[in-house]
Structure 1
């Protein structure tokens, strides 16, 4: 029985082999949602909720430093970015799950990729159902 490659490995192999080139039409089916949060624990909890509800295929989070204006002052502080990869039709579901977990003003932005490699879209389509699984 052949060993199945992890999604990350399949993606890398597709890029190296020239297969799985970016699919301009498939990109309309995927959205990335950029979310700012206070800490990694929040990001982890939200990511797990999204994955358990099959509202996302993959989530990444990483620390950043944020500088912003607040009441006439410039403030710098640490934040965490959560990057959610999902189907376009599930963006409102994802945003609802994030809003239910966060009680402060944060950024939730939809990003529409120009193109997505077909191996990633295949994985997204296998793992995140079209219907009301959420």
Structure 2
């Protein structure tokens, strides 16, 4: 059984990109809340280990909207291959989960 709610995680290289994604998801009612955190990322890209200061976005969504959330992020993201992953919310405060439902489509 699929969880009703989820977090979608994505990373950005700058605050303007992160804010564009967050605003887009909220305005389209695809996310109830988007939180932005600074992170330090290490990864392989084009055959070399890379290190970058990025921003991680935690997007609270209804699981059923994942495909639309992914498409909305892809449409405005600046990365060639952005990280976009869904993590199921298995449990949470019912009042908070109800709020997610009430402010998303």
- Shared topology, TM-score over 0.5? yes
- 2:25 aligns to what? 50
**Larger strand fraction of residues:** 2
1:100 equivalent in alignment to 2:70: no
Describe how 1:54-93 pairs up with structure 2 within 5 A: 54-93=29-68
| 1:32-51 aligned within 5 A | 32-51=7-26
Q: Unpaired runs of 5+ in structure 1?
A: 1-24, 130-134
Deviations along 1:56-96, one digit per CA (max 9) or x if unpaired, are: 10000111111112344322111111110011111111111
> How far is 1:99 from its partner?
0.2
State the distance in 2 between where 1:93 and 1:112 align.
Answer: 16
TM-score (norm: length of structure 1): 0.71
Q: Secondary structure at the residue paired with 2:11?
A: strand
- Give SS of 1:28's match: coil
1:118 counterpart = 2:94: yes
Using the TM superposition, give the Cα deviation of residue 37 of structure 1 relative to its aligned residue in structure 2, in angstroms: 1.2
**What SS does structure 1 have at the residue aligned with 2:65?**
helix
Q: TM-score, normalised by structure 2?
A: 0.90
- Count of paired positions: 104
Superposition pairs of residues 13-28 of structure 1, within 5 angstroms? 28=3
